[in-house]
Amino acid sequence: MANQKQNKYYLTTSIPYANAKPHLGHAMEFIQADTLARWHRQRGEEVYFQIGTDEHGQKLFEAAEQAGAEPLSFVNEMSETFVQLAGDLNVDYDAFVRTTDAHHKKGAQALWQACEKDIYKGTYTGTYCVACELFYTAKDAVEGMCPVHPNRALEDLEIESYFLKLAPYQEKLIELIETDAYKIFPALRKNEILSFLKNNQLEDLSVSRPKTQLVWGVEVPGDNSHVMYVWFDALANYITGVGYPDEPNFAKWWPADLHIVGKDINRFHSVYWPIMLMSAGVELPKALYVHGFINAAGGVKMSKSLGNSVSPEEILQRYGTDALRYYLLRYIPHDADGEFGLERFHAVYTADLVNNLGNLVQRVASMTTKYCDGKFEIAVTGTPSHLDDLEDAAFDDALQKIWKELDALNEAIDKNEPWKLAKTDLQATQKLLYEWIGDILKLSAALAPFLPSTAEKIHNIFTDGRVDMHVGMLFPRIEKED
């Protein structure tokens, strides 16, 4: 996935739509991207990691109205909740793009102008979902309802619109995806898009709204009676964030090495975005990782009305940042949908973090204090090579491997019974403890991109040949809430 030869890595999350507060899915995407960013930094690459918020469009305008707020003050407030969440999740990003920023708007207009040979004005008639901000064909619709929002009837809409021609790029796009020149993964998502592209003649994409319908957007260059379709504006963030069209940073960072997005917006990123770039004569990003959704326990959709939705802040307050990072990276499959329920989360926290990792570090630290006067001698080493693999964003597999080694270490301690051995052979006990500290530090280095503050604590406990017991427990035991 990484082009290690270039020694630079530009990755982005999608930019969440700022019409509501962040949910667990946003938290997961932030954490996945942050883990990859840290992983690449750990390997000496220069990383640029961009997140942001999407702040225009009909749905947002309506949400602001409902909240009785001006759109801009509404998005200011909403965007701040995503900044806050990223901070609470220990997401170490380099830039936060807001599509209401003047610089972004200028860049989006430049992109439009670069696409101008493929843009024309026409009339659009279709059935539209306001929630998706998307026209759906009769084939997509489910008995007149939105395929994504089963409770939303599609509305008939006829508007004057600018269109972007897609068909001229269809064959080329198929080739780029098939050959992994634009790599879409996991394979399921790549095949889904290829099948769509091979079985449908792409229709021209409506890329503007008349201001009579919507004013909250980026003005179309040369026609102040239209604003850009929110997706045209939003997708542009990946290039405007690094200085498109003409800042030196753009040449340095573009093309992006990876976009991370959810499966619901795969098509925007694997069809519309690359075609916009081809039309504008801009290089395509190298890869797109498409993650699944988080459902409630039992695989049912999380929703406020069902009372089964869990907010990230709720978990963070009770269990801490690394506990949430761990669960989302390990137990939501990287290539499928996953489940999040409080019961399971609590069980995993206790088994994997308190009883396994936490207890291991605690045991070795206190035995070293007791039997080695708090001192140890080891040769410092890096990440073991068999754990040095995060290809295809397989966070779950990587953590599973690390936990297998933690299991083995715990078993080795139980088997060797150093508390007994110390009575007869103190030197052999010390030798074992040094070995285990070395193993813990190696695993901790492998763990650092996933659970950065836990890895830092472990490092602080075993540092400069001395055990520091003041660092405290990694994961406190937490009583289950009734």
Say which of 21, 103, 132, 459 is annotated catalytic. Answer: 132
Work out the angle at residue 354's Cα, subtended by the Cα atoms of residues 353 and 360, and round it to the nearest 5 degrees. 90
Q: Which is nearer to Zn ion, 135 or 327 (CB)?
A: 135
Task: Supply the DSSP symbol for 390.
Answer: -
Assess contact for 182 and 168: CB atoms under 8 A.
Answer: no
Q: Is 265 in the site for Zn ion (CB under 5 A)?
A: no
Q: Which stretch binds Zn ion (CB under 5 A): 77-85, 132-140, 188-196, 458-466?
A: 132-140
By rule CB under 5 A, what count of residues binds Zn ion?
A: 6
Taking the complex as a whole, the smallest distance from the CB of residue 401 to Zn ion amounts, in Å, to 39
What's the full length of the chain, in residues? 482
Taking the complex as a whole, the smallest distance from the CB of residue 386 to Zn ion amounts, in Å, to 45
Q: Is 131 in the site for Zn ion (CB under 5 A)?
A: yes
Taking the complex as a whole, the smallest distance from the CB of residue 268 to Zn ion amounts, in Å, to 14
Assess contact for 122 and 158: CB atoms under 8 A.
Answer: no
Q: Is 95 in the site for Zn ion (CB under 5 A)?
A: no
Assess contact for 198 and 174: CB atoms under 8 A.
Answer: yes
Residue 392 DSSP SS3: helix
Q: Is 130 in the site for Zn ion (CB under 5 A)?
A: no
Say which of 301, 375, 431, 480 is annotated catalytic. Answer: 301
Q: Which is nearer to Zn ion, 155 or 417 (CB)?
A: 155
Q: Which is nearer to Zn ion, 132 or 478 (CB)?
A: 132
Q: Is 132 in the site for Zn ion (CB under 5 A)?
A: yes
Q: 129 catalytic, yes or no?
A: yes
Those residues whose C-beta lies under 8 Å from the C-beta of residue 404, and which sit 6 or more positions away, are: none
- CA–CA gap between residue 8 and residue 41 (Å, rounded): 9
Q: Which is nearer to Zn ion, 60 or 413 (CB)?
A: 60
Q: 132 catalytic, yes or no?
A: yes
Considering only 129, 154, 236, 422, the residue that binds Zn ion (CB under 5 A) is 129
Say which of 40, 146, 269, 346 is annotated catalytic. Answer: 146
Taking the complex as a whole, the smallest distance from the CB of residue 98 to Zn ion amounts, in Å, to 24
Q: Is 267 in the site for Zn ion (CB under 5 A)?
A: no
- CA–CA gap between residue 106 and residue 187 (Å, rounded): 36
Q: 146 catalytic, yes or no?
A: yes
Q: Which is nearer to Zn ion, 262 or 285 (CB)?
A: 262
Q: Is 141 in the site for Zn ion (CB under 5 A)?
A: no
Taking the complex as a whole, the smallest distance from the CB of residue 79 to Zn ion amounts, in Å, to 23
Q: Which is nearer to Zn ion, 213 or 362 (CB)?
A: 213
Q: Is 146 in the site for Zn ion (CB under 5 A)?
A: yes
Q: 470 catalytic, yes or no?
A: no
Taking the complex as a whole, the smallest distance from the CB of residue 156 to Zn ion amounts, in Å, to 15
Taking the complex as a whole, the smallest distance from the CB of residue 17 to Zn ion amounts, in Å, to 12
Output the CA–CA distances (angstroms, integers) from residue 16 to 13, 30, 56, 82, in the order listed. 9, 10, 11, 8
Q: Which is nearer to Zn ion, 49 or 136 (CB)?
A: 136
Tokens 């779950």 found at: 396
Taking the complex as a whole, the smallest distance from the CB of residue 149 to Zn ion amounts, in Å, to 4
Which H or E run contains 323?
A: helix 321-331
Closest CA to 96 of 88, 104, 106: 104
Output the CA–CA distances (angstroms, integers) from residue 163 to 276, 284, 476, in the order listed. 12, 21, 57
- Other Cβ atoms less than 10 A from the Cβ of 222: the count is 10
Those residues whose C-beta lies under 8 Å from the C-beta of residue 54, and which sit 6 or more positions away, are: 15, 16, 17, 18, 99, 230, 234, 237
Say which of 21, 103, 106, 149 is annotated catalytic. Answer: 149
Q: Is 148 in the site for Zn ion (CB under 5 A)?
A: yes
Q: Is 149 in the site for Zn ion (CB under 5 A)?
A: yes
Say which of 8, 21, 23, 459 is annotated catalytic. Answer: 23
Those residues whose C-beta lies under 8 Å from the C-beta of residue 226, and which sit 6 or more positions away, are: 160, 161, 162, 208, 209, 210, 211, 219, 220
Q: Which is nearer to Zn ion, 151 or 224 (CB)?
A: 151
Torsion from C-alpha of 125, 127, 130, 135, nearest 10 degrees:
-70
Positions annotated as catalytic residues are 23, 26, 129, 132, 146, 149, 301, 304
What are the residues binding Zn ion (CB under 5 A)? 129, 131-132, 146, 148-149
